[in-house]
Amino acid sequence: MFPIIGIVVVIGAILGGYLFEHGNVMVLIQPAELIIIGGAAIGTLLIANPLPVIISVLKGVLGTFKPAKYNKARYLTTLRMLNDLFKRARRGGMTSLESDVEEPEKSEIFKNYPEILNDHHAIEFICDTLRTAMSGAISHFDLDQMVELDLDVHHKEIARPVTALTTVADALPGLGIVAAVLGVVMTMSSLGGPPAEIGKKVAAALVGTFLGILLCYGFLSPLAANMTGSNEAESNYYHCLRTGLIAFVRGAAPVLAVEFSRRSIPAAVRPTFKEMEECFRGKADAAAA
């Protein structure tokens, strides 16, 4: 929602100020300049990145216009799911989770949380960690190191689309200058013609520089920053999972392991202990009914 509002504000402020000075909007409509800048920007993206990264860039940009994925409700659901897993493991031992982690889509626990079950990376992370812990051949310290390595690889992977988009954004002012230079070339070839025609060509050349700078600092760079924030939110979510899982493997009681997990949640979206208790109690009441 906020990215859309921001785009409207950027366009409104620029056009509003331009019209306030009695500017002609039609002068800014230069399809040739857009083709040069936009086409060259797409070309640089294709040159510098493989297809999976380009697809991730498109998904990331579209994702900025969707509501925040990792909100308080998502964290409450996650804490409740972890509590269910830990309680079952405490009652029947870690091996009681074998069927859940081997076939999560058939798990009675995971099926209660479709939002998490449909998150391929999250459910894979949970199941892989529990599966490794069930092997009994690894200490909780080594498991924590392994999980940290996994998260580091994941963090680098989700950062690649942001880097790609930032590179394109940084190139846009230069591409705007390229479009402007081509406009100047066209202008020089028209010297001796009507002054009005020469003026139009000069204006078109300057619009190229304007568009390159606007697209960079007004749109793509802010979108890249938004994607960076989304990546940080995802990293915080996986850190929450890691904290709870490692605490339980280390020997903490289910409620204490879940509390470890809750304390690792960023303050802006962290549910209070009372909210967490009410969430758990609500589920228990529904099960009893």
Tell me the angle at which helices 140-189 and 195-214 cross, rounded to the nearest 10 degrees: 180
Q: How far apart are CA 195 and CA 285, in angstroms?
A: 82
CA geometry: angle at 184 spanning 182 and 190, to 5°?
110
Q: Report the pLDDT value the prediction gives residue 172, as an integer from 0 to 100.
A: 94
The C-alpha atoms of residue 270 and residue 187 are separated, in whole angstroms, by: 60
What token pair was written down for 51?
């297809």
pTM, rounded to two decimals: 0.87
If residue 284 lies in a helix (H) or strand (E), which one and from where to where?
helix 273-288
Write out the chain's pLDDT in tens, 289 residues: 788 999 999 999 998 998 888 888 888 888 888 899 999 999 999 999 999 999 999 999 999 998 889 999 999 999 999 999 999 999 988 889 999 999 999 999 999 999 999 999 999 999 999 999 988 778 888 999 999 999 999 999 999 999 999 999 999 999 999 988 888 888 887 777 777 777 778 888 888 899 999 999 999 999 999 999 999 999 999 999 999 999 999 999 999 999 999 999 999 999 999 999 998 887 554 443 4
Dist CA 216 CA 173 (whole Å): 7
User: How do the domains of the chain map onto residue ranges?
Assistant: 2-288
Report DSSP letters for 121-176, one per residue: HHHHHHHHHHHHHHT--S-HHHHHHHHHHHHHHHHHHHHHHHHHHHHHHHHHHHHH
| pLDDT tens digits along 101-136 | 999 999 999 999 999 999 999 999 999 999 999 887
149 CB burial (10 A radius; 0-12, 13-18, 19+): exposed
Nearest Cα to Cα of residue 173 among 215, 143, 138: 215
* Averaged pLDDT score across all residues of the chain: 90
